Structure 1
Amino acid sequence: MREPSASLQNIVRQASEEGLSRETLYHLIEKATEEGAVRALSDLGLQDRNAQGDLSELRALLDSWRETRKTVRQIIIKWIIKIFLTGLIFGLAVKMKLLHLGQAF
């Protein structure tokens, strides 16, 4: 069992002074926290044997989502840069009269 926090030690000291042994109180607290953790996992739907696999899948899905978002952002930035450079080259070609626009045939 790991070292309890200072506030928990104070509660145990107070309960001990009122008649409970420290070991009994620590055991009670440990069991209560275990049951609380089981209840919390159950409320989240993670109480079965597949819970660890489900969490691993969710983490993998989240990692994939983050990677996809990053890739989409990079693609959008590349397209914006390409469009800007294409416009710049097109503008320079018109300015340098390499490309004639608006003239009648």
Structure 2
Amino acid sequence: MEDGTVLARLMEQARGDGASVGTLRAIAKEAGGLGARRALARLGLEDAGAAKDMAELRELLGAWRDAKRSAFKAAWGSFGRMIAALVLVGLAVKLGFPGWLK
């Protein structure tokens, strides 16, 4: 059946029946499914390979987050080592280490 045909039939039945609870639930369910299909179609995800594409995108996004986290961790590690080296050089100069080399 066409996407909107079932929904139109249910709406007509609700009007004729005085809108029973079961009919309204069926309308809501069908409308939700129709809206979801339309949204997926607008995003270009209505084809059979969309689930695989989404899984690959999630994997790629996870890899990007891991790489970003590793880059920040490496940057902070390098920054910490540079600060430690500067402190050691400062202590060596303050304690007269260059004089010990002569």
Query: Which TM-score applies when normalising by structure 2?
Result: 0.73
Where structure 1 has 5 or more consecutive residues not aligned to the other structure, the ranges are 1-14, 101-105
Count of residue pairs the alignment pairs up? 85
Q: Specify the alignment match of 1:55 in structure 2.
A: 54
Find runs of 4+ consecutive structure 1 residues off by over 6 angstroms.
none
Q: Specify the alignment match of 2:74 in structure 1.
A: 75
Q: Specify the alignment match of 2:92 in structure 1.
A: 93
Letter in 2 for 1:22: V
**What is the correspondence of 1:1-105 to structure 2 with a 5 Å cutoff?**
19-99=18-98
Larger relative contact order, structure 1 or 2 (CA cutoff 8 Å, min sep 6):
2
- Between Structure 1 and Structure 2, the one with more helix by share is 2
Distance (Å, rounded) in 2 between the aligned partners of 1:46 and 1:77 = 40
Distance (Å, rounded) in 2 between the aligned partners of 1:40 and 1:48 = 13
Where structure 2 has 5 or more consecutive residues not aligned to the other structure, the ranges are 1-13
CA RMSD of aligned residues (A): 1.9
Query: Which TM-score applies when normalising by structure 1?
Result: 0.71
Distance (Å, rounded) in 1 between the aligned partners of 2:94 and 2:21 = 89
Q: Note the alpha carbon deviations across 1:12-37, whole angstroms, 9 max, x for none.
A: xxx78x71333332222211111100
Distance (Å, rounded) in 1 between the aligned partners of 2:80 and 2:21 = 69
User: SS of the counterpart of 2:81?
Assistant: helix
